[in-house]
Amino acid sequence: MNGEVIRTEKPTKNYEIGAEVVHALRGVDLVVNRNEYLAIMGPSGSGKSTLMNLIGCLDTPTAGQYWLNGQPVAGLIDDELARIRNREIGFVFQTFNLLPRATALHNVELPLIYAGVPSRERRERAEVMLGKVGLADRMAHKPAELSGGQRQRVAVARALVNGPAILLADEPTGNLDSATGDEIMNLLDALFDQGQTIVLVTHEHDIAARAHRTVTLRDGLISSDVGRMAVAGA
């Protein structure tokens, strides 16, 4: 099914620092369909992360509208947003953001814990997911005992374990050497091929080139939106 996963209508985001107001987003109209592979580019400070936070329901816009899977999100309260993040969004961060004291397996289980999945099923699903990212033999390891690439794989497994509508990756290769970065990107490519909708933030052109559409931001506005390919299956 190829519906709209993301639709934004002139969302703005202002940050007030003392008397000064920073306009991080100035009204970005964006539609992302199911099974798209979208890269967001732009210079530092152009609003990429702010837009990601909005799309990922970590934050709400100052003004404007946002629909996720057709559901309006802009006016929701904290706990409702948490529920949406849990069910619909999978985050992959530049700095991995794994819990340092927890094993790889427990890290992957976290979204299922908050989804209220019983512990047996939780464990099985997390194990399957870690197997898919090639870490079946590293489940009991803590993040400190894993390489950077392995950590990011754990993060990908964690992002996907609850079957989210979109995978959001903010500079997923930013903390990795290029060979390892390529590995992670190959993993994302494979996930896209399996039908996962992906939104990727990067400032590297060769990373962005893997996506099928590139949106470039400048000063909180979209400066270009280039679809390299027709949307898969459309």
Ligand X SMILES: Nc1ncnc2c1ncn2[C@@H]1O[C@H](COP(=O)(O)OP(=O)(O)O)[C@@H](O)[C@H]1O
Interface with other proteins by CB under 8 A: which residues? 53, 56, 58-59, 78-79, 82-83, 85-87, 91, 93, 97-101, 110-111, 113-115, 119, 158, 162
- Answer yes or no whether residue 45 interacts with ligand X by CB under 6 A: yes
Q: Which two tokens stand for residue 45?
A: 């400070």
Q: Is 114 exposed, middle or buried (0-12, 13-18, 19+ CB in 10 A)?
A: middle
User: Residue 103 corresponds to which amino acid?
Assistant: T
Q: Which two tokens stand for residue 31?
A: 């539609």
Helical (H) or strand (E) element with 67 = strand 63-68
Measured CA to CA, the distance from residue 186 to residue 184 in angstroms comes to: 5
Select 126 or 159, whichever has its Cβ closest to Mg ion.
159
- Answer yes or no whether residue 49 interacts with Mg ion by CB under 5 A: yes
Binding segment for Mg ion among 32-40, 44-52, 131-139, 172-180 (CB under 5 A)?
44-52
2 binds, among Mg ion, ligand X, other proteins, none (CB under 5 to 8 A by kind): none
Select 49 or 86, whichever has its Cβ closest to ligand X.
49
Report the half-sphere exposure of 213 (CA within 13 A, side-chain side). Answer: 18
Residue carrying the six token digits 């987003």: 25
- Answer yes or no whether residue 21 interacts with ligand X by CB under 6 A: no
> Minimal distance in Å, beta carbon 97 to other proteins?
5
Residue numbers at the binding site for Mg ion (CB under 5 A): 49
